[in-house]
Amino acid sequence: MLETLEILLLSLADDDLILGHRHAEWIGLGPILEEDIAFASIGQDEIGHAQAYYQLLTDLGLPTPDEYAFKRPAERFRCAHLVELPNTDYDYAQALMRHFLYDAAEQVRLQALRQSRYEPLAGLAERLLREEKYHWLHARTWVEKLGHSTEEAYLRLKSAYHLLWPYAWLLFEELPQEAAMVEAGWLPPNAELRSRWLELITPILAGIGFEVGPPASEVLLPLQGARHGLRSPHFEALLAEMTEVSASEPEAEW
């Protein structure tokens, strides 16, 4: 069961670590100072959350958080491709829409994990949810504000939404060995979590005039496999950059 638990915790941790890294790329480049600070702060939270998930594995004799983050080959990461996508042209609408879709998913995931029968995870989810409420408030507020503002804001949000939607849908791709996890009472099936996520975001997206529905299967098919270790073309460069400093002095104490 340890291997199954590792799959679950790495998928949660890696999503947070990689999105935290992407959020941090906004430092110094936000459209206004407050957003620069917001993305930096949210990114720091997400990286801290990743560390706390890795620590649950460390407590069971598996590698340390630093080893998981900085010394793991690309194919052993289990994050969703949504979080790997680069901040192309630093389009704030795209960063905001990703933050919105992801943090809605985190709300749903963490609320469910509070009931997990794996107690260390239930305790951690309770803590993280209390921190995450600010992320969700931030994302929701800006999507609603910009969705009702200028034509340009609306169109840019809409094009970000269309680009990201299939990737966001696959945040809830079935995990390897998911049946055993559900059987153990660790989490509800991802298909069920996706339904709850849709219930949360549909009224908000519909409120700004966006249609919500399942992506076409021919769109989804080539994007699948992230939870099995299949990385997107963007991951290698991200990992090289993220591990550059630690790789320069592998034995250093930080």
Partner 1 sequence: MVTPKEVRQWLQAVRDPEIPHVSIVDMGMVGEVTVEGEKVRVELIPTYAGCPAIKLLQAEIQAVLASKGLEAEVEVNYQRPWRAEAVTPAGWAGLRRAGFALPKHLSGDPDALFADISCPRCGSTAVSLSTPFGPTACRAIFRCHNCGEAFELFKPPV
Under the rule (CB under 8 A), what is the footprint of partner 1? Answer: 34-35, 37-38, 40-42, 44-49, 51-52, 55, 120, 123-124, 126-128, 130-131, 133-134, 137-138
Least distance from partner 1 to the Cβ atom of residue 223, Å: 29
What is the residue whose two structure tokens read 């638990």? 5
Instruction: Using the minimum distance from each CB to partner 1, give the nearer residue, 132 or 173.
Output: 132
- Residue 140: closest CA among 99, 106, 109: 99
Q: Which lies closer to partner 1 via its Cβ, residue 59 or residue 89?
A: 59
**Shortest gap between Cβ of 134 and partner 1 (angstroms)?**
5
CB within 8 A of 102, min separation 6: which ones?
Answer: 15, 19, 82, 83, 168, 171
Q: What is the DSSP string of 188-249?
A: --HHHHHHHHHHHHHHHHHHTT----PPPHHHHGGG--GGGTPPPTTHHHHHHHHTHHHHHS
Nearer to partner 1, 65 or 166 (CB): 65
**Smallest distance from partner 1 to CB 56, Å:** 8
Instruction: Indicate the residue among 4 and 116 with the shorter CB distance to partner 1.
Output: 116
| Closer Cβ to partner 1, 46 or 178, answer by number | 46
Residue with the two structure tokens 């090289």:
240
| CB nearer to partner 1: pick between 43 and 166 | 43
DSSP letter string over 86-148?
--GGG-HHHHHHHHHHHHHHHHHHHHHHTT-SSHHHHHHHHHHHHHHHHHHHHHHHHHHHHHT
CB of 16 to partner 1, least distance (A): 10
Q: What's the closest the beta carbon of residue 44 comes to partner 1, in angstroms?
A: 5
Q: Which two tokens stand for residue 201?
A: 């975001």
